[in-house]
Chain A
């Protein structure tokens, strides 16, 4: 691929960097406790918590770094952290 003049690039390529590999702990979502408030998706610094067809939420583990902000924010304590098994 030829270099883009001026060290410029169009959007999209960041997605090739799968930051999920950084994770030590992973969030486990319990949909049965979910009230669909959406705070977990709102505050994820990766933007990798997505709404499911049922209206609950799940993390995209390709990108989730396991920071645990979603665990702290969930008003129903419906997310917990588990040690990553690799």
Chain B
């Protein structure tokens, strides 16, 4: 049954059904509605969890790390500056192989200060060892949390995950969402069984330091787990589809790509706008399609190369910028298509909440087909 609700509320409802035992979060726009909802659920005894009202995002993730190491399923949510403050803990939690699931309500990073959406925050953590899943709409945002717990807690993976959905554009927007019941979620997501935990009955030292004899091998093991998580995601996504009727077994998803000459590549809510724009362009006879990236980490390079092998031009929409080198996704798509002969152009777009309309997508396609790219799109040159 579809219910009409705010994206943040949909996520909070799903997180509740995933039964985290410890929640630690610090309020930050536009993540607040999620954690307020969860706090209320704890206050109402709707969820059997400890909610730790930490004094910073840094402590939020540190507390999650501790609780996870002690053997609890944990949850947090943040965005932007909060995620930046967690930077150190993010690398640490992944290195310590704690299966923490954290929602990122994607938002730009200052300066200048901006509360509005882009994906600079999570993308800047791309090297941290966290799985990164991006949702196109609120249904996908909610669903990906269940899948994330399944993948993270797999004893063959043991990595933390960001479930990313765009701030305001999704977090504060009402959409129809199908919420599975508690029983259905329980059937999909088993109770948490830690791989190892802090326990006086079986002492273990966790988070030791590694000399040069060992450090590289530990990093190699994390990277291998990252790569293994592709298959774990596909399996969890397929089983999700079997149970709930919404299939997430693909790391990337094509839209009208079959006969496309030009493909857009994007992540997150912008994909909805892109699909509408493609439908319009198709009506005018233009062979345009979309490749949506669902799992940015691990990066599905082979899947992207396979999906785009028939197109001649690719336009990547990057809601981020690696300052001094262009968009992060574009750079990686170029790498994935290296030697294929496909022309790949990158567009820095929609930073800091700049609106993107269907005609902007059409304009990007025009630019790409003329061989113009690797640029900011939509700059207000009159204020420069």
Contact = CB atoms under 8 A, between A and B. Distances in A.
Interface in A1-44: 3, 5-11
A7 B98 CA distance: 12
- B contact face: mostly helix, strand, loop, or mixed: loop
Measured as residues with beta carbon below 8 angstroms from the partner, the interface class of chain B is 20 to 34
Contacts of B221: 3, 5
Contacts of B303: none
Contacts of B96: 6-7
Nearest to A5: B97
Interface string A51-76: 00000000000000000000000000
Contacts, number: 41
B210 A9 contact: no
Q: Which of A3, A7, A9, A10 has the most CB of B within 10 A?
A: A7
A9 B205 contact: yes
B217 A3 contact: yes
B206 A10 contact: no
A17 B97 CA distance: 27
Interface residues of A, number: 8
A11 B205 CA distance: 7
B214 A9 contact: no
A5 B210 contact: no
A8 B158 CA distance: 14
B341 interface: no
B204 A7 contact: no
Contacts of A6: 95-98, 158, 196, 206-207
Contact of B214 (A3, A5, A8, A11): A3
A33 to B, nearest CB: 38
Contacts of A3: 214, 217-218, 221
A7 B218 contact: yes
A8 B207 contact: yes
Interface of A: 3, 5-11
Interface of B: 95-98, 158, 195-196, 202-210, 214, 217-218, 221
